[in-house]
Structure 1
Amino acid sequence: MAQPDSPVDDITTEMVTSADGTSLGVHCLGSGSPVVIVHGSISTAESWLQVASHLAVDHRVFVLDRRGRGLSGDAPEYTLETEAADIAAVLALAAESTGGVPTLVGHSYGAICTLEAVRRGSQVASLVLYEPPLPVDGPVAGQHLAPYAAAIAASDNDAAMRIAMEHFIRAPAAETEAISATPLWGLFLSLAPTWTRELAEIDACVSVMSEYGESTTRTLLLVGEQSPKHLVGASAYLESRLRNVSKHVLTGQAHFANLVDPGQVASAINTFLDR
């Protein structure tokens, strides 16, 4: 496999329409077998473009802006089913334009969306899951969703994000303070309102969580060496149930290695795809 001196940065965009008529923006780059990437909450496709640029040396990569952000539109009705339909539309674009069956990569809540898409019948060559926050040991948001939603309703997105960092991401206070001093915090604040509905869907997916563990798709679990316990536990839950699964620990990283060390993330995915 080629090892570039610098990653691919020639990016184009495509628009596709989901089942409910919502327009979806997709960032496309590279050539080769297809890979579709689905980002997590409080982020956009841009958070995965560095990883995508490394993968694009050997693959045609499609990075979806999930509904409600980036290039994509939105709709009043929102469920995991609408997310799954969005992913199905992008998978169809990837298959049609390359002639291959795509690998599907999901990060955080986006990984839950990919599990739901596969559960609902989307065909993929393989699956890469980077720490889906499944409610394995109880609700992820639970009693803290109401104060989060109240802060959002009061337009106090900063307070909402601090609730989220403490109770949903479960990051140390020092990490929250460090992030809040960076430009990334502003992006978090701008996208915080979309997280309310997603948190509700995360806690509700407990009703189908056992079905996620029944997939026979070849799957790679990416787990940060320093990730919060509940995220590591959710990956362990899948590892113990999936029939065709392997795990890769991201050395020295936590939940956002796609931003901090995109080369390591891309290398792990490429190694998996080369097997």
Structure 2
Amino acid sequence: MYTVSSRDGTRIAYERAGSGPTVILIDAAGHFRANSALGGLADRLAKDFTVVRYDRRGRGDSTDTPPYAPHREVEDVAALIDVSGGSAALYGFSSGCLVALHASAAGLPVRHLVLMEPPIEPGSPEGTAAQREFTAHLSARSGADAVEFFLAGIGIPDDVLAGMRGTAHWDAMVSVASTLVYDSMLSEATDADLLRRVRTHTLVLDSTGSSDDLTGMAATAAALLPNATARSLPGEWHGVPADTLAPAVSAFLSGPTVESGAGSVGQTG
């Protein structure tokens, strides 16, 4: 494990493996290196890339510096890019996609973006107000109550939620429950205008086993991003097996950094 200091002094813990161009993996809400769905993908990508995994601020071995703001997470990514040679590709999973999008929109030296089912819902003032209300209610909760409220609020199916309670994964999420409001604040700060400012060549992925809300949000993101390709991969709800996911990600990261025909969106199976 290594650490790097972000601009505000927060210590960001990370690890790296493999060799080649750098790709930074960004975890979802409530996830960190010791409680992550990205391990299998990291192992496979490390055959061709230098893979950096890190604990987002306030999670795992990383510290935190209040007050939170989305641009602080951009500064964390900037510190990781700087210590990794000055440029990197970013892979985001779920709300980790929002960090990646903010980083690219801010002008960080990002070669490629890969977004796995980004939770993008830019829309009406009513929707924005509802997200702010959700953030307010979430910030008033703690521990398991916050985890339950957050997961139910973002649409986790009841049967999936029931299977999570009492597991090691659940307990790990409870341990970082105070950071869940960060992801809600990121959602508030992610609108259509921000996506249109992202010029990075982007691959937006979804799983054929996911629900319509998740695949619909992925399609919305792909339509708004100026240089995006959309692709559906065979998988389960909100996830694709690493053996299927890694070749698709690797092929994209090995391709050109600029897609001809800005604004074109492709769809492949």
Same fold at TM > 0.5? yes
Shift of 1:15: 1.3
Question: Which residue type is aligned with residue 23 of structure 2?
Answer: V
Q: Give the equivalent residue in structure 2 for 1:271.
A: 251
Specify the SS of the correspondent of 1:246.
strand
Q: Is the Cα contact below 8 Å between 1:136 and 1:233 reproduced in 2? A: no
Shift of 1:217: 1.3
Q: Give the equivalent residue in structure 2 for 1:38.
A: 26
Q: Give the equivalent residue in structure 2 for 1:186.
A: 171
Count, aligned residues: 249
How high is the TM-score relative to the length of structure 1?
0.83
Q: Is the Cα contact below 8 Å between 2:70 and 2:189 reproduced in 1? A: no
Q: Structure 2, unaligned stretches of length 5 or more?
A: 256-269
C-alpha distance in 1 between matches for 2:230 and 2:43: 23
Deviations 1:168-207 (A, max 9, x none): 1x0221111112253211112212221023313312333x
> Structure 1 vs Structure 2: percent identity of aligned residues?
29
Shift of 1:40: 1.5
Q: Structure 1, unaligned stretches of length 5 or more?
A: 1-12
Deviations 1:21-65 (A, max 9, x none): 111111100111211111121000341222111100111111121
C-alpha distance in 1 between matches for 2:180 and 2:58: 10
Shift of 1:116: 0.7
C-alpha distance in 1 between matches for 2:102 and 2:218: 16
C-alpha distance in 2 between matches for 1:205 and 1:217: 16
Deviates more, 1:184-193 or 1:72-81: 184-193
Give the root-mean-square deviation of aligned CA atoms. 2.0
Is 2:202 the counterpart of 1:202?
no
Question: Which residue type is aligned with residue 120 of structure 1?
Answer: A
Shift of 1:234: 2.5
1:1-275 equivalent positions in 2, closer than 5 A: 13-46=1-34, 47=36, 48-95=38-85, 101-137=87-123, 138-139=127-128, 141-152=131-142, 157-168=143-154, 170-206=155-191, 209-257=192-240, 261-275=241-255
Specify the SS of the correspondent of 2:156.
coil
How high is the TM-score relative to the length of structure 2?
0.84
Specify the SS of the correspondent of 1:24.
strand
Q: Is the Cα contact below 8 Å between 1:213 and 1:238 reproduced in 2? A: no
C-alpha distance in 2 between matches for 1:266 and 1:182: 27
Shift of 1:274: 3.2
Residues 1:256 and 1:42: Cα distance change in structure 2 (over 3 Å): farther
